[in-house]
Amino acid sequence: MASPSDHKATIIDGTAIAQTIRSEIADDVRQLSEKYGKVPGLAVVILGNRKDSQSYVSMKRKACAEVGIKSFDIDLPEQISEAELISKVHELNANPDIHGILVQLPLPKHINEEKVLIEIHLEKDVDGFHPLNIGKLAMKGREPLFVPCTPKGCLELLSRSGITIKGKNAVVVGRSNIVGLPVSLLLLKADATVTIVHSRSDDQERIIRGADIIIAAAGQAMMIKGSWIKPGAAVIDVGTNAIDDPSKKSGYRLVGDVDYKEACKVAGWITPVPGGVGPMTVAMLLKNTLDSAKRVFMQ
């Protein structure tokens, strides 16, 4: 019999799963185009030139092209006023060729994020952050029109890997509006017993060690050690943290919120960073845009 030190977690390959989903979406887009003579449209709005935001946006636009979704590129200056941005959003709301509107966050300090996001038409809110969509996600027996992309991607990774959620102990590490909170609501909808661990939680290690499913979204490099993980648990690592690495040309490498090498020796399943949750976020954005267009075309 193999000794425990030989244990290797099953790697959940987010890149491969996302590729499968993208080809399913491309097929659907082709069918819509043949049947209705129209394709889904996604407007991606970016302010200024933050490096990380620009790289996310170019990834999203490239992904659209790959599956046949029409991308509307809205590049605005960083100093644009809140009123001008909102009137741009209204213009996109009124354009019938656009089925999804995404405003790349974070926004510059002088703009109130909440005021802008609430202006996006509910039926075009493919990021799933409109308060009404989040509210419905939180309520039993209600379904939001859209679920936020990263949380949706996390659950898709679990289900496509054959991991049961119902009745399991799920621990979400982090309580952000973008991941922690919505992913805990989704797990609750899927009948997990959910605990949220955050920076003010006492005895984080003990709580995490009780988890059958861990969603790590704290933004703390390698915070979750191998010894914190229950043997056989499923670990979804949402973190992307840059740490110094002189051996790399860029001078840094990306790591998750979980100590990957250690976790691999204990966990049943684990997502790598990069190549785990990241590609799924973009795939779910495409899926939400496709679903939105289907609602319109099939009315």
Active-site residue, from 60, 70, 88, 189:
60
The tokens for 50 are 């933050």
Contact between residue 33 and residue 296 where contact means Cβ atoms under 8 Å apart:
no
60 is catalytic: yes
Contact between residue 79 and residue 68 where contact means Cβ atoms under 8 Å apart:
no
**Distance from chain centroid for Cα 30:** 25
Half-sphere exposure of 164 (CA within 13 A, CB side): 5
Pairing of strands 70-76, 41-47: parallel
203 is catalytic: no
Peptide bond into 182 cis (omega under 30): no
Active-site residue, from 28, 70, 88, 104:
104
E strands, the chain, where? 10-11, 41-47, 70-76, 100-103, 169-173, 193-197, 213-216, 234-237, 241-244, 252-255, 269-270
Contact between residue 146 and residue 137 where contact means Cβ atoms under 8 Å apart:
no
Active-site residue, from 28, 125, 127, 257:
127
**Distance from chain centroid for Cα 121:** 20
Residues annotated as part of the active site: 60, 104, 127
